[in-house]
């Protein structure tokens, strides 16, 4: 039953991703000065939205864990942080590629950029803590760390606003956003949020499986999805082919952005797949 729902969810997500990408590449009007390079916007912003949802999920799950000590909450917390870091990595990669074209430089110590980088660093250190802490105490310490990280965020935001405002560039939410572009952006936000939730669901099932294996109660939770994961890869190749023969610089930036972003997504999915394979092997060994 669960795998059927997941599959349904996956189909919708892929459909939305294809639709969103089509909208971003074809339907959205080219921006007056930046041309196609501006289309990076349509997956930069949605990835940020998805990541912030996931980080919030991590915070809520961590509070829940400290309150109830439920392994479900712990699995949700690790899922939120890890998938969030991947999506935020996409934000941090695609942003500079756009910035190289728009501003002429990859990185500026602008308030929003600095804040984002620190956010990413915080959740990286959360993941590092999870990896290297002693077995029994991981969940509690990670939950405490998550709460401190979440507390730090508004402070980081304020401190950058006050002390590092070199030149805040209005990047999103400008009032003169073309309504056509806004529609495309919203479609992409929906698509990428669904995509993030789908990966998160998959990651969560993996975590639950590994928790169960840890307790030697083996269940076949995460078996239905390994094949379906290849679909996003196919989508990627399918989407980009018709663009490659055009030689404009703006196109190059856009394509570079796409390649960088999907390399991250696919790399992460492959990592999850290898984890799944390892867990399955372990499961088989335990059964034997």
Partner 1 sequence: MSAATTKSIAPEAPRKSISITSLMWVNVAKDLRLEWRSRDVLNSMLFFSLLVVVIFSFAFSPTADESRKIAGGLVWTAFLFSTIMALNQSWARELKNGVLDAYRVSPAPAEALFLGKCLGNFIFVVLLECLMAPLFVLFYNLSSVGPLWQLVVIALLGTWALVVNGTFFAAMSLRTRNRELMLPLLLLPISIPAVVTMVAGTTQVLTGEGSPAVQMKFLAGFCVVFTAACFLLFETVLNAE
What residues line the site for partner 1 (CB under 8 A)?
66, 118, 121-122, 124-125, 128-129, 132-134, 136-137, 140-141, 144-145, 147-149, 151-152, 155-156, 158-160, 162-164
Residue 238: CB minimum distance to partner 1, A: 39
Token code pair at residue 133? 């802490």
Token code pair at residue 158? 């304020």
User: CA 99 to CA 106: how far, in whole Å?
Assistant: 5
Token code pair at residue 232? 């996003």
Residue 122: CB minimum distance to partner 1, A: 5
Residue 204: CB minimum distance to partner 1, A: 23
Residue 145: CB minimum distance to partner 1, A: 7
The smaller minimum CB distance to partner 1, of residues 111 and 272, is found at 111
Main-chain phi, psi angles of 281, to 5 degrees = -60, -45
Q: Are 169 and 103 in contact (CB under 8 A)?
A: yes
Residue 30 carries which DSSP code? P
Residue 85: CB minimum distance to partner 1, A: 12
Residue 8 CB-density burial (10 A; 0-12 exposed, 13-18 middle, 19+ buried): exposed
Alpha-carbon separation of residue 78 from 124, 178, 186, 220 (angstroms): 11, 38, 28, 20
Helix-helix angle 138-163:41-68, to 10 degrees: 130
Residue 149: CB minimum distance to partner 1, A: 7
Residues in the chain: 288
The smaller minimum CB distance to partner 1, of residues 3 and 159, is found at 159
Q: Are 272 and 203 in contact (CB under 8 A)?
A: yes
Residue 112: CB minimum distance to partner 1, A: 15
The smaller minimum CB distance to partner 1, of residues 135 and 288, is found at 135
The smaller minimum CB distance to partner 1, of residues 129 and 260, is found at 129
The smaller minimum CB distance to partner 1, of residues 66 and 213, is found at 66
The smaller minimum CB distance to partner 1, of residues 146 and 256, is found at 146
Q: Return the SS3 of 31.
A: strand
The smaller minimum CB distance to partner 1, of residues 156 and 196, is found at 156
Cα-only R_g, the chain: 20
Q: Are 39 and 184 in contact (CB under 8 A)?
A: no
């Amino acid at each position: 039953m669960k795998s059927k729902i997941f599959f349904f969810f996956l189909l919708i997500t892929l459909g939305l991703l294809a639709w969103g990408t089509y909208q971003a590449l074809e339907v959205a009007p080219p921006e007056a000065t930046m041309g196609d390079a501006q289309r990076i916007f349509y997956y930069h912003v949605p990835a940020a939205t998805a990541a912030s949802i996931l980080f919030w999920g991590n915070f809520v799950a961590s509070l829940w864990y400290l309150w109830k000590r439920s392994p479900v909450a712990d699995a949700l917390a690790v899922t939120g942080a890890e998938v969030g870091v991947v999506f935020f990595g996409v934000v941090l990669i695609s942003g500079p590629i756009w910035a190289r074209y728009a501003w002429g430089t990859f990185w500026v110590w602008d308030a929003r950029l600095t804040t984002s980088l620190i956010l990413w660093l915080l959740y990286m250190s959360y993941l590092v803590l999870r990896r290297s802490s002693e077995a029994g105490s991981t969940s509690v310490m990670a939950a405490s760390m998550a709460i401190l990280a979440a507390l730090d965020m508004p402070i980081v935001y304020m401190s950058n606003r006050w002390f590092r405002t070199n030149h805040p560039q209005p990047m999103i939410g400008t009032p003169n956003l073309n309504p056509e572009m806004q529609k495309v952006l919203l479609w992409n936000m929906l698509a990428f949020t669904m995509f993030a939730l789908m990966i998160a669901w998959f990651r969560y099932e993996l975590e639950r499986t590994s928790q169960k294996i840890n307790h030697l109660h083996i269940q076949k939770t995460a078996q239905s999805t390994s094949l379906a994961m290849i679909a996003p890869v196919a989508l990627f190749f399918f989407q980009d082919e018709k663009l490659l023969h055009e030689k404009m610089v703006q196109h190059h930036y856009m394509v570079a952005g796409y390649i960088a972003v999907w390399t991250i997504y696919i790399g992460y999915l492959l990592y999850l797949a290898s984890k799944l394979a390892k867990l399955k092997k372990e499961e088989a060994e335990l059964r034997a």
